[in-house]
Amino acid sequence: MANNTLAARAWAAALALSIHNAEEIALGLPGWAEAHPQTAGFNWSAGSNAFMFTAVLLMGAAFLFALMAQLSPRRWMGAGLKVVAVVMLVNAASHLALSVYTGSLMPGVVSAFLVLLPVFGWIALARRDT
């Protein structure tokens, strides 16, 4: 537990991702995408079961990363977490943009605004992970 700041950020990231993915699953993101043909470039045509499997797999990977950061932090983990933060900020922006574009609330937009932006913004802007 030599790197408590990195571990704290990793646990916060895992929790934020899980909250966001839970919202997307609960509100049926694949179904929403099908109902909005103007989002064809973002369509999850693999279906809701494949989407749910992928979302749960990502949540598991995030918690595994957090556990590794807690128990055996590595030098690359801070940079890796910042890359994930940028990706998740782009994800949050896409939820906000597609909600405006379609005139409807995209599943995941509430957690994108209330959870992803603050948590991953904090991680992305952090100076050091020590």
* Range list of β-strands (E), the chain: none
- Residue 39 domain-assigned (yes or no): yes
Q: What does the pLDDT read at residue 31?
A: 87
Q: Which one has a higher pLDDT value, 51 or 41?
A: 51
Find the helix packing angle between 117-125 and 76-102, rounded to 10°.
140
Q: What does the pLDDT read at residue 66?
A: 93
Q: What does the pLDDT read at residue 2?
A: 45
| Residue 117 belongs to domain spanning | 4-125
- Residue 9 domain-assigned (yes or no): yes
- Residue 130 domain-assigned (yes or no): no
Q: Does the structure show a pLDDT above 50 at 1?
A: no
Decide: 77 and 68 in contact? Cβ < 8 Å. Answer: yes
pTM, two decimal places: 0.88
